[in-house]
Structure 1
Amino acid sequence: MSDPAFVPDVHVELDGAVATVEMRRPPHNFFDIPLLQHLADAFEDLEADRRCHAIVLAAQGTAFCAGADFSNRDATPPQRSPRGVNPVYAEALRLFACGKPVVAAVHGAAVGGGLGLALVADFRVTCAEAKFSANFNRLGFHPGFGLSVTLPRLIGTQQAALMFYTGRRIGGAEAHAIGLADGLVPQDQVRAESLKLAREIATSAPLAVQSTRATLRRGLVEQIRNAVAHESTEQNAQFKTADFREGVAAMAERREPRFRGE
């Protein structure tokens, strides 16, 4: 396994058969390509480690992951890779390809791509204080990170559409009620409960769990691969619009956006 000392923003700890992969960019854990690369490297190392039967994805700080940092109105979106796919999503595909079960400990906000990251996991444990938002349309562009597949797959097309179109933030209790989260506990117990679930999974035969998981997720990685190609095409077109510039400006200025459809 890679030495976490060389990856300061991702820490990996194996305790028995359960590994904790912790993001360390508090308070918001905004992601970029290097952070996602480090997460994907950690997942791939753990997949190759026969001692690891399950993974807990957790984070320091007040947020689980607030997505990309658009708070700077001069921020520019990632450019296309030569294959036309946003390189952020190329790293996301590596995370989805991991063959071992993952529990996400969502103790705070999971917003935009941060919500996409939470949906890499098989299960999510959360708390009332957490916030979940697919806020892409509120910023003026198409959802990404494979959420056009993973969110409706989890909560149904109708609920997913509501989250996408409005960009609203929903709390942990509502997320649990609609099936976006699998466990709801006090905030200070989110990680402990996530570890408890991962350890319960890890008591089952690992080869059987992984093969069952592969059956249940059959075709999912390919669906997400196709989705991120389409999402990237839509986003690259919309990143050039006045509405995208307005969405980013409105977020930076903490005001309601004034979109004009151009």
Structure 2
Amino acid sequence: MSVGLDRHDDGIVVLTLDDPERRNAMTVDMGDALRDATAELRDDAGLRAVVLTGTPPAFSAGGDLDMLEDLARRTREEGYDATGHMRAFYGRFLSVRDLPVPVVAAINGHAVGAGLCVALACDLRIVAEDAKVGLNFSRLGLHPGMGGSWLLARILGHQRAAEWLYTGRLVRGAEAAAQGLALEAVPAGDVLPRALALAGEIAAASPVTVRQLKRTLATTADADLDTALAREAACQAVSYGTDDLREGLAAGRERRTPDFPGR
């Protein structure tokens, strides 16, 4: 299996890209395994947060060169149109966006090309200080894929994303975090513990509210204020009927930490 799935008692699941000999390259098999893992988790009512990481030494070194070379050969020699193939390929890995809870990318090593795109598809990112990260597609002669151009512009802003994409340069994790790609940069050995701590904070919040927020942030990112207000009002209307709100208010009055039931 090329994606490990480790369940924790607090509703946190760690997914691990696990093909260290190829530095967790983005292969079809890896994509199938990730899609299957997310499908298994999607309907898990007890799920509260997910951490996505890679088996050291890399998070993911990017696309599978054998696949890229085969597609290039078929296109040149056979006139093959790879559009459908690539769209299906993206979907395997971007299935992490379908999870109903926040996903924290623990970028514990190099994350390059499509490998970084998968991390960009997560909600939050912690990166190793010395990891090399970047979208190097232009240096391969390949247009970015896996949502890279769309995701990066929304995370870094248009001008900074354009510089990354046009040059294809790789930067250290510390610089990437300073530019806003990740919440913070820490030593490589601290990446997973820090990501798990963050996931623990998320898991301690109201599961109903966090799941609502996941959807809100996805649907209102490019919406106008009236649309955002309508979404917030509808979500609060749901909140008023939940046991989570009852527990949260009681905990506030009693000055204790809430224990949310998730309903």
Write out per-residue CA displacement over residues 48-90 of structure 1, whole angstroms, 9 at most, x where no aligned residue. Answer: 1122100000111211011113279954359757857532112
Q: Which residue type is aligned with residue 33 of structure 1?
A: V
CA contact (8 A) 1:104 1:125 kept: yes
TM-score for both structures, normalised by structure 2: 0.75
Q: After superposition, where does 1:192-211 map in structure 2 within 5 Å?
A: 192-211=193-212
Q: Which residue type is aligned with residue 61 of structure 1?
A: P
State the match for 1:18 in structure 2. Answer: 12
1:36 aligns with 2:18: no
Deviation at 1:144, TM superposition (A): 0.6
Distance 1:219 1:94, change over 3 A: farther
Q: For structure 1, which runs of at least 5 residues remain unmatched after alignment?
A: 1-7, 221-262
CA contact (8 A) 1:107 1:130 kept: yes
What fraction of aligned residue pairs are identical, expressed as a percent? 36
SS at match of 1:92: helix
Q: Distance in 2 between matches of 1:104 and 1:93?
A: 13
SS at match of 1:13: strand
Cα RMSD, aligned residues only: 2.2
Q: Which residue type is aligned with residue 69 of structure 1?
A: D
TM-score for both structures, normalised by structure 1: 0.75
Deviation at 1:13, TM superposition (A): 0.8
Q: Which has the larger radius of gyration?
A: 2
Distance 1:24 1:85, change over 3 A: closer
CA contact (8 A) 2:34 2:93 kept: no
The answer to which structure, 1 or 2, has the higher relative contact order (CA under 8 A, 6+ apart) is 1
Q: Which residue type is aligned with residue 213 of structure 2?
A: T
Deviation at 1:9, TM superposition (A): 1.1
CA contact (8 A) 1:81 1:87 kept: no
Structure 1 segments, 4+ long, off by >4 Å, are 71-75, 77-85
Length, aligned pairs only: 213
Structure having the higher helix fraction is 2
Q: For structure 2, which runs of at least 5 residues remain unmatched after alignment?
A: 75-79, 222-263
Write out per-residue CA displacement over residues 154-211 of structure 1, whole angstroms, 9 at most, x where no aligned residue. Answer: 0001111111011100101111101101122111111000000001101111121011
CA contact (8 A) 1:80 1:86 kept: no
